[in-house]
Amino acid sequence: MLPFSQLSSSSLPILRDVDLLVVGGGTAGAIAGIAGGRAGLKTQVVEQFGFLGGSQSGALVTPMMPNQIEGEPLNGGIDMELNRRMNAMRESGVWKDGNRGWFNPEMLKHVLEQMCGEAGTELLYFTFVDDVIMEENAVRGVTVVNKAGRSAILAKRIIDASGDADIAFRAGAPVEVGDPETGINQPFSVRFHLGNIDLNRFAEYLKSLGRHDVMEAAEGSDVPLIHTAMVWGKGWTLEPLFRKAVDEGVLLESDGHYFQVFSMAGRPGEMAFNCPRIRESVDGTNPFHLTRAMVTGRELINRYVAFCRTYLPGFERSYLVFSAPMVGVRESRRIRGEYYLSTEDYFAARKFDDAILRNCYPLDIHRDKDHALNMQRLKAGEYHEVPYRCLIPLKVENLLVAGRCFSGSFEAQSSVRIQSNCRAMGEAAAVASAMSLQRNVPPRQMDGKDLRARLKELGGRL
């Protein structure tokens, strides 16, 4: 932590002095950057990789998990605008089940950059934030490291969209980590794509098994939606093939604990895999754990590739298109904020005057103890809300968080962490930052009811 009073004597060059600094250009951060620029703020997004989108584009988390009631999305605003842009380009689509996007991650990078450019937001890639600049209990900026050396970025408002609450943690905000029952985090994923697949042949094979894993192509797309999965003992029709592959030494028993694959708009002949799942050493803030996940993940990927080529019709001449450059981290640090969204709030379908988003996605917990996916849902037609106060860390001023590190319980986070909700948090944090500057009050003192009203004016579904 660098005291602001020592900055002038530190010999650190000041790289930028902006209205709004967004740390992390991922699912929440990219949208925060767009919203900040549109609000008229001089906005800077700092990102460690060379692209926007975070887990969507870098960890290949390509399906939009549905957050809707009777086919009507609960999220609006920039999230909906982005989906519509991708749909218009035939790089995503809406299928009959209402799922609003099984998208092309490569094109998402480009569209997010376009939208940031249109908003006047400046991007800075290949740059790590290594410390915070503090004045008493307020964050005044950060220090960054890149190929050009170490420098400082100052800002009137900062949004921590790192996913891991890196800025809030370094600034001294209270955080918590993992499942309170076990003390560990949910499993990682290291996802991958296979190409040169005969999708029609594979679709016909799935239909022959009697499982409805195939739907018509999305509106405006010529790629059928193909989805299948396998977890031991859950009745999936691929289980006999997995058992045969284990018996013949192509797969290990553990490879059948979680397997999922689906097609994507904009990528004919390809399928995306939501696996392998890494269950050990899953601290997303530990670089040794992340390194081990990548190495282990590629070993598992090679076994899955061999399995697909050998046992799945249509995959005989498939090849590995790419494996994710990012580990898929479901959760790590979560801040303690002005409000703590509880599991009770979820099941009570609780509403708030300062709500920034609505959610009905199930609790989505990959329990390590039995390798199962534990999904608990609200009653049909019900939803809960997330208040603005969940973005305001305790004990630290001038800082908001956005994304999966918001203030909530382990269980509540497992539901809210999906992409549309993280995008909504990014937009809300940027709009709140702009309003707090206009009113010359700290973000903590912003009236959340006014923020909610402004988000509705901007197209939010609240």
Instruction: Please report, for the chain, the start and end positions of each structural domain, with discontinuous segments joined by +.
Output: 2-180+331-457, 188-329
Name the residue with tokens 């985090």.
Answer: 185
Q: What is the CA radius of gyration of the chain?
A: 22
pLDDT at 212: 65
Q: Is 233 exposed, middle or buried (0-12, 13-18, 19+ CB in 10 A)?
A: exposed
Q: Cα 226 to the chain's mean position, in Å? A: 22
pLDDT digits (tens, 9 = 90+) for 207-224: 999 876 776 665 556 677
pLDDT at 184: 85
pLDDT at 154: 98
CB 281, CB 160: distance < 8 Å: no
Q: Is the dihedral of CA 40, 159, 402, 127 positive or negative?
A: positive
- Write out residues in the chain with pLDDT < 70, as ranges: 94-100, 212, 215-222, 367-374
Strand partners for 389: none
- DSSP reduced 3-state for 410: helix
pLDDT at 371: 46
Rounded-to-integer distance, Cα 331 and Cα 308, Å: 30
CATH number for the segment(s) 2-180+331-457: 3.50.50.60
Please report, for residues 53, 153, 411, the alpha-carbon distance to residue 144 in angstroms, rounded to integers and kept in the order given: 20, 7, 33
